[in-house]
Amino acid sequence: KKKEQIQFADDMQEFTKFPTKTGRRSLSRSISQSSTDSYSSAASYTDSSDDEVSPREKQQTNSKGSSNFCVKNIKQAEFGRREIEIAEQDMSALISLRKRAQGEKPLAGAKIVGCTHITAQTAVLIETLCALGAQCRWSACNIYSTQNEVAAALAEAGVAVFAWKGESEDDFWWCIDRCVNMDGWQANMILDDGGDLTHWVYKKYPNVFKKIRGIVEESVTGVHRLYQLSKAGKLCVPAMNVNDSVTKQKFDNLYCCRESILDGLKRTTDVMFGGKQVVVCGYGEVGKGCCAALKALGAIVYITEIDPICALQACMDGFRVVKLNEVIRQVDVVITCTGNKNVVTREHLDRMKNSCIVCNMGHSNTEIDVTSLRTPELTWERVRSQVDHVIWPDGKRVVLLAEGRLLNLSCSTVPTFVLSITATTQALALIELYNAPEGRYKQDVYLLPKKMDEYVASLHLPSFDAHLTELTDDQAKYLGLNKNGPFKPNYYR
């Protein structure tokens, strides 16, 4: 099976994240890399004692007698249900969407195959989609971010979920395949985070792919791959780029990272930020969020950036814009959030000072060249879950968090409220694509209509007791707007 995967990895050039000169890579390099590259240390990431038996070997059934799932331990379902109920308290917009649309069942007949982080918050989304009439089969887009008890609760509720924390690379693809490949059930919608599921269906099940009515993708990485497919003329279904909708960009990328960057760093290292020198690579929405939090705690922040507009924004916000090799010897913390690859190379790592902390806030684990550290002269010491000390021959240590994977989802949690905004956007995008009349969406990548962005935002205002001002007819006419929106043109950012 492994062999067969590697074979077709060779012809995946059009779908790889960034073309290489040779055009041939091993499978782990050609998928989004946010999700794989497991090493022997992976076992210590899991949170249960029975690691010896893979969930794939276990025969488990839920209380209704179904075994159409594969999770770590179905007995944890009750605990997971409580987690989901707590998440629902802070996801009022998604719940109100569920209540409003439950009667008309806008997703009746939709067979959604999904691949996202499996947490209490995404469980609220999955259950909302089911309440709106959809049938769902789900797998995880990251081998470490699954909450086992939540996966168990979903399985108990009858969702076909295939995921557990600490999967191997082989498990990861097996789970995706089990979601797609089921007798008598054929997916007609895809919800993806990172593009791995889309890629698997495109390569392995081209007949299923052709019949898909729409793809909803929520990450920079996955959207990049969709645009590559589209450019090559190989995208035969409409896709919705949720990542670049204003609600996702501003809330998930900016406000969410502003809160979770410190959480991830504090939980893993207990570092004090006042006076620390930190370099943040990339000043996009994620970078802006991280820098705002670090600055507020009194850190001295440097930025690296390739885009002159983002660089100028960083200057105006009071940050020094530098090249990484100008500050690498003096900084205490290095944070990457560029969406690129090899931003921190072995050369940079060699020049860092003792006990420098290195971590990644971007979706993919390609930003820090972790592979270059797996050489005989360097010693790896697992200090605690998600924290490795990499020790050089002269005794210098570099503190690497989550092996270069997404820090906030690997090492801490993400604010539920922010995820509610993204999840509501995803649900609306699925409803829009599934119910769109023939011909509204062609075989291309689309942005969510501005009107929907505004609707998502308006659903969240009641929880702040916020009151919107209404335009008078005269004012609306003066601005050339409809009183009910959209209030900004589609190109507004």
Q: Which residues contact 490 (CB under 8 A, 6 or more apart)?
A: 447, 449, 450
Q: Is 305 annotated as a binding residue?
A: yes
3 is known to lie in a ligand binding site: no
68 labelled binding-site residue = no
One-letter amino acid of 180: V
Do residues 362 and 219 touch, judged by C-beta distance below 8 A? no
User: How many CB atoms are closer than 10 A to CB 232?
Assistant: 11
Q: Is 65 annotated as a binding residue?
A: no
How many other C-beta atoms can be found within 10 angstroms of the C-beta atom of residue 62?
19
Question: Is 218 flagged in the annotation as binding?
Answer: yes
Residues of 295-322 as b/e, b for ≥16 C-beta within 10 angstroms? beeebbbbbbbeeeebbebbeeeebebe
285 is in an annotated binding site: yes
Q: Which two tokens stand for residue 384?
A: 């605690």
Residue 109 assigned to a binding site: no
Q: Per the annotation, does 480 bind a ligand?
A: no
Query: What Å distances lie between residue 258 and 44, 156, 200, 245, 287, CA to CA?
Result: 28, 35, 33, 19, 9
The identity of residue 214, as a single letter, is G
Please state, in angstroms and rounded to a whole number, the distance separating the CA atoms of residues 400 and 389.
6
161 annotated to bind ligand: no
288 a known binding residue?
yes
Burial class of 276 by CB neighbour count within 10 A (0 to 12, 13 to 18, 19+): middle
Pairing status of strand 387-391 against strand 397-401: antiparallel
In 10 A of CB 277, how many CB atoms? Answer: 15
Is 193 annotated to bind a ligand? Reply is yes
Burial class for 329, CB neighbours closer than 10 Å (0-12, 13-18, 19+) = exposed
Does the annotation flag 119 for ligand binding?
yes
Tell whether 298 is in a known binding site.
Answer: no
Residue the block writes with tokens 């009910």:
484
How many whole angstroms separate alpha carbon 392 and alpha carbon 398?
Answer: 8
Cα 197–Cα 200–Cα 207 angle in degrees, nearest 5: 110
Annotated binding site for NAD(+): 284-289, 305, 408
Annotated binding site for substrate: 119, 193, 218, 248, 252
Annotated binding site: 119, 193, 218, 248, 252, 284-289, 305, 408
